[in-house]
Amino acid sequence: MDLHTVEQVRRPARAEEIASWEAGFAWLAGGTWLFSEPQVDVHTLIDLESLQWPSLHATADGLEIASTCKVVELDRLTHKAPSDWKAAPLFRECCRSFLSSFKIWNEATVGGNIVMSLPAGPMISLTAALEGICTLWPRDGQPRQIAVVDFVTGEHQNVLAPGELLRSIHLPVHALRKKFAFRRFTLTHLGRSEVLLIGTRCPEHGEFLLTITAGTLRPIQLTFAAVPAATELKRAIDDAVPFSLYLDDPHGSPAHRQHLTYYFAEQIRAELGN
Amino acid sequence: MNYRINGKSFAAEPRPGQCLRTFIRDLGWFGVKKGCDAGDCGACTVWLDGKPVHSCLFPAFRADGREVTTLQGLAVDGKLHPMQQAFLNAQAFQCGFCTAGMIMTAASLSEDAKKNLPFHLKGNLCRCTGYHAIEDAIHGIASVEEDRAGHACGTSLANPRGEPIVTGNAHYTMDVAIEGMLHLKVLRSPHAHARITAIRRDKALAVPGVRAVFTWEDVPRRLFTTAAHDDYHVDPDDTYMLDNVARFVGQRIAAVVADTEAAAEEGCRLLEVDYELLRAVFDAEEAMLPGAPQLHVGKDVDSRIQDPVRNIFLKIEAETGDVARGFSEAHAVYEGTFWMPRIQHAHMETHGTIAWRTPDSRVHVRTSTQTPHIIKNKLAYLFGMFPHQFHVFSEFVGGGFGGKQEMLTEDLCVLATMKTGRPVKWEFTRSEQFTAATTRHPMKITVKLGARKDGTLTAMQMHTVSDTGAYGNHAGEIIASSLGSSLATYRCASKKGTGYAVYTNTVPSGAFRGYGATQPAFAVECAIDELARKLGIDPFAMRRTNMIRAQDPVHSIWPFPNDGVIGSYGLDQCLDFVEQALASGRGETKPEGDEWREGRGVAIHAQDCAPPTEHRSEAHMSLLPDGTYHLSVGSAEFGNGIRNAQRQVAASVLSARAGSIAMDFVDTDKNPYDTGTFASTGTSVATLGVQKAADALRENLLEVASQVSSVPVAQCSLAAGRVRCGDRWLSLQQLYEASPLREKLHVSRKVYGSPRSTAFLAHGFRIAVHRVTGEIRILQSVQGFDAGTILNPMQSRGQLEGAIAQGIGVTLFERMKFDASGTVVNPTFRHYRIPAFADIPRSELFFADTYDRYGPLGAKPLGEAPIIPVSPAMGNAIADATGIRFHSLPFSADRIFSQLAELQ
Ligand SMILES: Cc1cc2nc3c(=O)[nH]c(=O)nc-3n(C[C@@H](O)[C@@H](O)[C@H](O)COP(=O)(O)OP(=O)(O)OC[C@H]3O[C@@H](n4cnc5c(N)ncnc54)[C@H](O)[C@@H]3O)c2cc1C
Ligand code: FES
Ligand code: FES
């Protein structure tokens, strides 16, 4: 929709050109959320596209994803990933876990989704499960790093200071090599995630990681040295996720989300336990 | 900046925050539509350098130097793109509002992508078609049949509006540019119940471009109802154009008109309103209790509100036979309470109006409506003017489903144009559709049924509480309807009903497809199954024992006679079909695994073909000098296909090609009076008028032919678009020229909606329920419908498919949610999901073979009713699968899973 209060668009070649930050500024990534709701407090859009950051950079250490990488580019990576990245199919699973259509992920960015910090953010699910580390660029000061699971602090809330940029997300190669299990539930077909759970297991050390997203206000990650027993897993979920942390919105009720979390967590445990 | 749009170059500067959708439209390409303006519906899809994007989300400045293609640029040298042709061949549209986006998306898909349409079409919503015809189009399946003289009835003729729809040249309400147009926006109440103590407008008026602000002090202090009924007495006069009391969150507080939408919105934000907060009530039963906040106190007899102190607009109570005795004779009695939430029509084109004045002091109102003539009369009443001073019309209307049987935007546009002298436009946002248009009436219904051992019903009793929201538009007709057809579906000597239409501080309810019959049908049809279960009788057998039969009177709770009749009877055929289809083994098989439980369910319905209150229409028909015909009738076309059906009826009577009959857009200056297109009246009343006019014209033509040829009338006939006089043939052109009395070539006929025949239907589902997650999978969906003669099979299937899809949405997941302050929390398609392609299975459809004695060429309406049995058929299937009866909608997994935990 038209953002009627916007008075100017700035298209910097380098992020440093935006030295000072004012209320009413907004970074513009794909624009698919910004243009989908009234933004009456925004008067200036600052275009991230003009920074021309390379989207994806694979190294021996893992994968560097620029925040401006389009969702569609990550989706395509699934088939181009090195063969020992056993977790690569998760790219596709997660890209296809948006409610939005493929036409929107032609424009929407990975960073935009993470910064939105919505419970149903599938790029959060993906990068959190694959132990991603965000690099943040404050407006003044040195870049800092933070794990994706800690980046999101609540529904539509995160650690970014005003004007601070999410520059990139690094997925370490050890995580990309893990075996995984994926579960998602939606109230309508191909709809918005009600719960999205991803389990991974390290082929070398057997470490088991369960990442609970969409059903909870923020991503929750449970770490086990080995695949736990069913009761241990259930207890760990209960300890980590009090009922008040389950989301109540039109895409699901807290009770159902908790119920599905138990159900799918157990399925994932069983699947990765074999 | 430089843009290329559909091969043409433009140097233009978009506004900084402008999206591509409005930018393209500002340049005159109106083929790009708005269904949501938020990325959810896909109606705005265009190609950027060949790639489809939602233009409402795309910043216009980013399209600089790129190639934009819209639906209007898809045809090359006047030759349709194959996908446009495919949409025409399959008639993959009804209102056509989603079509631009559908075609632009479908035409971008590779052959491989077309194999996964649920995925690739998930960003394109269509509320009309149920997606079957769209799937057909994409797979190259054609349904359209040839238009041959003498074969118009019963043939799948293309809608003459198809070509403009698939080329993007159809002009919907907002698709015009008018010099000097102002934009109207309204400030809406943030409070559910409040009195306005002051409004300061200086800051708003100081916004550059703001031309005027209107508040309750600027409007005629005249109570009216937004409901569009010819007989306005059936609704309460409880509404002011602008009021100093707000009765729901979202009610209009003030209107701002400005040179731009941006300025109008800014003006709204800068209005300063002081409110005195009043207590609010959101539950209809609480609203009737002593001490509850009163919404319309002080309005009574003059407003036709029965009991304003208890917030009761209308109470209805009646009994036939003796219900108490009926229950005492019963061997089994079932009583249950059912609840249906508030849901929205979600027609793709939002409400909107453009109004302007001409020097002859007439006001022209271009608007998205189902009832142009009623709007005209309402405006005359509100503004104290003569009806002839208003000209109300539409070209293309993007869906209605009852939502547009209401005056929601016309009045303020007229006010503003009268005060400013400038054309004024007001277009609802999608969110306003949810917060401030109308909805289906939520109802709480208690049904009690008694039957003997053999299943014979001895008594039926119903208690309905209907929540009309803050205003009573349609409340009376709806509450009456709720005590009507679903009880009349069964033969039983003793029936009793009580109904309350109650005000609450919520967005008003209004007309909705299935008008007051869908809610009670859910309750009654579920109760019939429960009673059958108590008696150990199969649900089909239970219905056969009790359902209305061909010779029966059509009666519900009222002891006095009514004009409901059975003009043809096919309920038995419909039920047989559903039973056989569900037993056939067709459809999907149950998914593997013990968690999945399978079940089937059925529901039936007998629906009156017209509303019980006043309904009339008139048709004019003429032979033109070139030997073609002109037909004029006041029915509104909003995706219902009514005008095509009317052309077919006339063509059939005149043995002509349907293509030889021209019709105008709906326009009060051009068409004769019609009480509006709703409650199935398009077919049962207006089309009957068309048949009568065509009959009359035929008679006149034969008489003239006989005079001209000196051959006796008995030997004259119309055939193949010509006139046969004995062994001589005359063309219609020759007949026109030779006709001694040209007046004979113009005829007019009026019809009145009585008696009202009855249409019948049955719906069945076979489903699987996942006992842990609560997921429901539809394995098979079948509907049998008795609509008498099927005038256009393709269109008829489309109506059923669309209504079933809407029914599935409201059954499985649609629901408006409110917070504690009475604010809608999901006023967008992102959060109020309507069915997408992936949600809708193909239904097996069957049409009973009957011929209605009263309907046009034996036809009965079928646009309204197919939604009615969907919810109970699903409820019954779930009960069959799980043994658990769910009493409230929707049956979404998160609402049913906890009870399923009982299952092992
Ligand atoms: C139809 C539709 C369906 C949707 N479905 C889902 C869904 O299922 N799940 C879900 O989570 N979301 C969903 N969304 C919302 C959403 O999160 C996205 O549209 C998308 O992920 C946003 O990405 P973008 O690049 O377009 O961000 P933008 O709209 O450009 O920006 C989003 C926000 O992030 C900020 N931002 C963007 N990039 C950066 C950065 N690098 N550093 C700092 N701040 C930044 C912006 O200032 C803005 O506040 C949906 C949106 C639409 C339109
Ligand atoms: S109008 Fe753009 S997606 Fe609905
Ligand atoms: S035809 Fe699709 S919305 Fe009307």
Give the chain B residue whose CA is nearest to the CA of A103.
Answer: B53
Statement: residue B58 has pLDDT above 80? yes
| Binary contact (A28, B38; C-beta < 8 A) | no
Q: Which residue from B minimizes the CA distance to A264?
A: B773
Are β-strands B312-320 and B332-340 bridged in parallel, bridged antiparallel, or unpaired? unpaired
Please say whether the beta carbons of B241 and B412 come within 8 A: yes
Look up the pTM and report it. Answer: 0.97
Residues with CB under 6 A from ligand 2: B 34-37, 39-44, 54, 56
Chain B touched by A6 (CB under 8 Å):
yes
Q: pLDDT, tens digit, for every residue of B518-532?
A: 999 999 999 999 999
3 state DSSP class of B147? coil
Nearest Cα residue to B753 out of B272, B403, B231 = B231
Give CA–CA dist B174/B351, Å, rounded. Answer: 10
ipTM of this model?
Answer: 0.96
Ligand 3 atom nearest residue B95's Cα: 4
Chain A residues whose beta carbon lies within 8 Å of the beta carbon of residue B772:
263
State whether residue A259 sits within 8 Å of chain B by CB: yes
Residue B732 contacts residue B624 (beta carbons within 8 Å): no
Contacts of B831 in chain A (CB under 8 A): 249-251
Judged by its nearest atom, the ligand closest to the C-alpha of residue A166 is: 1
User: In this structure, are residues A212 and A237 in contact, taking their beta carbons and an 8 Å threshold?
Assistant: yes
Q: Is A30 in the pocket of ligand 1 (CB under 6 A)?
A: yes
Residue B676's pLDDT band, with cuts at 50, 70 and 90, is confident
Residue B249: the pLDDT is 98
- Class of CATH domain B616-752: alpha beta
Sheet-wide strand order for B495-503: B312-320, B495-503, B457-469, B443-451, B332-340
* Whether domain B182-278+348-399+404-436 has CATH 3.40.30.10: no
Instruction: Please provide the size of chain A in residues.
Output: 274
10 Å Cβ neighbour count for A223?
Answer: 11
At B868 the pLDDT is 98
Protein residue closest via CA to atom 40 of ligand 1: A166
Confidence of residue B392 (pLDDT cuts 50, 70, 90): very high
Question: Which helix (DSSP H) or strand (DSSP E) does residue B157 occupy?
Answer: none
Nearest CB neighbour to B45, from listed A37, A42, A103: A103
CA distance B886 to B448: 16
pLDDT for B256 equals: 98
Distance CA B735, CA B722 (A): 9
With the most atoms of ligand 1 within 8 angstroms of its CB, the residue from A32, A55, A105, A134 to mutate is A32
Ligand nearest, relative to CA of residue B396: 3
Third-level CATH fold of B563-612+754-904: Aldehyde Oxidoreductase; domain 4 (3.30.365)
Residues contacting B568, CB < 8 A, separation 6+: B757, B786, B788, B850, B851, B852, B853, B858, B860
Torsion, Cα A11 A17 A21 A24, to 10 degrees, reads -10
Check CB contact under 8 Å for B261 and A4. yes
Whether A76 contacts chain B with CB within 8 A: no
pLDDT given for residue B845 in this prediction: 98
- Residue B902 to residue B361: CA distance in whole angstroms: 70
Tokens of B580: 């056989």
Is A32 touching ligand 1 by the criterion CB < 6 Å? yes
- Sheet with B661-663, strands from edge to edge, namely B661-663, B629-633, B616-623, B746-752
A111 phi-psi bin (left φ>0, alpha ψ -120 to 50, beta other): alpha
Residue B30's pLDDT is: 97
Q: Domain residue spans in chain A?
A: 8-51, 56-174, 178-273
Q: Which ligand is nearest to the CA of B54?
A: 2
Left (φ > 0), alpha (ψ -120 to 50) or beta: where does B234 sit? alpha
Interface touch B59/A31, C-beta < 8 Å:
yes
The answer to whether residue B640 scores a pLDDT higher than 90 is: no
Helix (H, G, I), strand (E, B) or coil at B778: strand
Amino acid identity for residue B403 in this structure: G
Instruction: Catalogue the E-assigned strands of B509-646.
Output: 596-608, 616-623, 629-633
Q: To which residue do tokens 């049998």 refer?
A: B784
Q: Which residue has the tokens 């009216």?
A: B224
- Interior angle at CA B769, CA B766 and CA B772, nearest 5: 175
> Is-same-fold flag (B2-167; B616-752)?
no
Residue B260: closest CA among chain A residues belongs to which residue? A4
Point out the residues of chain A with pLDDT beneath 50.
Answer: none
The three-class DSSP label of residue B815 is coil
Atom 3 in ligand 2: residue holding the nearest Cα: B39
**Which residues lie below 8 Å from residue B673, measured CB to CB, with a gap of 6+?**
B373, B616, B617, B618, B634
Distance in angstroms (rounded) separating the CA atoms of residues B160 and B661: 10
List pLDDT tens digits, range B147-205.
999 999 999 999 999 999 999 999 999 999 999 999 999 999 999 999 999 999 999 99
Contact in structure between A250 and B831 (CB atoms under 8 Å): yes
Tell me if chain B has a CB within 8 Å of the CB of A235: no
pLDDT at A51: 96
Architecture of the domain delimited by A56-174: 2-Layer Sandwich (3.30)
Peptide bond preceding B755 in cis form (omega within 30 of 0) = yes
CB-based contact B54 A104, cutoff 8 Å:
yes
- Round to whole Å and give the CA distance between B205 and B612: 48
Mean pLDDT, chain B, integer: 96
Report the nearest-CA residue for atom 2 of ligand 3: B126
**pLDDT on residue B220:** 94
- CA dist list (Å): A58 to A61, A80, A126: 8, 11, 17
Please judge whether B119 and A102 are an interchain contact, meaning their C-beta atoms are less than 8 angstroms apart.
yes
User: Is the pLDDT at B904 greater than 80, yes or no?
Assistant: no
- Give me the mean pLDDT over the B783-797 stretch: 97
Query: What residues have CB less than 8 Å from B157, skipping those under 6 apart?
Result: B144, B145, B147, B644, B647, B648, B658, B792
User: Is the CB of residue B777 less than 8 Å from the CB of residue B140?
Assistant: no
What is the average pLDDT across B61-85?
Answer: 96
CA-to-CA dists, residue B268 to B207, B253, B255, B262, B575, angstroms = 10, 10, 8, 10, 55
Q: Which ligand is nearest to the CA of B429?
A: 2
Smallest Cβ distance to B16: which of A8, A187, A257? A8
Please name the helix (run of DSSP H) or strand (run of DSSP E) that holds residue B252, with its range, or none: strand B252-258
Contact state of B16 with A6 under an 8 Å Cβ cutoff: yes
Interface check for A92 against chain B (CB to CB < 8 A): the answer is no
| Subunit contact A256:B774, Cβ cutoff 8 A | yes
Bridge-based pairing state of the strands B424-427 and B312-320? unpaired
Domain residue extents for chain B? 2-167, 182-278+348-399+404-436, 563-612+754-904, 616-752
Contact by Cβ (8 Å): B891, B780: no
* pLDDT > 70 fraction of chain B, expressed in percent and rounded: 100
CATH code for the part of the protein at B2-167 = 3.10.20.30
DSSP secondary structure of A94-136: HHTT-SS-HHHHTT-BHHHHHHHT-TT-HHHHHHHHTT-EEEE
Rounded Cα distance between A256 and A270, Å, is: 21
pLDDT (0 to 100) of residue B881: 98
Crossing angle (nearest 10°) for helices B99-106 and B82-90 = 130
Partner-chain contact B52 A106, CB within 8 Å: yes
Higher-confidence position of A40 and B616: A40
Interface membership of A262 toward B (CB under 8 Å): no
N-terminal to C-terminal alpha carbon distance within chain A: 50
Please give the CATH number for the structural domain made up of A178-273.
Answer: 3.30.390.50
Question: How many angstroms is it from A94 CA to the middle of ligand 2?
Answer: 23
Q: How many Å is the Cα radius of gyration of chain A? A: 19
Distances from the Cα of B536 to the Cαs of B452, B454, B601, in angstroms?
Answer: 12, 10, 15
Q: Residue B518: CA atoms inside 13 Å, Cβ hemisphere, count?
A: 28
Over 80: is that where the pLDDT of B680 sits?
A: no
Provide the greatest CA pair distance for chain A.
Answer: 58
Quick one: which of B54, B71, B58 has its CA closest to B172? B71
**8 Å CB contact of A101 and B42:** yes
In order, the DSSP letters of B862-884 are: -SSGGGTTHHHHHHHHHHHHHS-
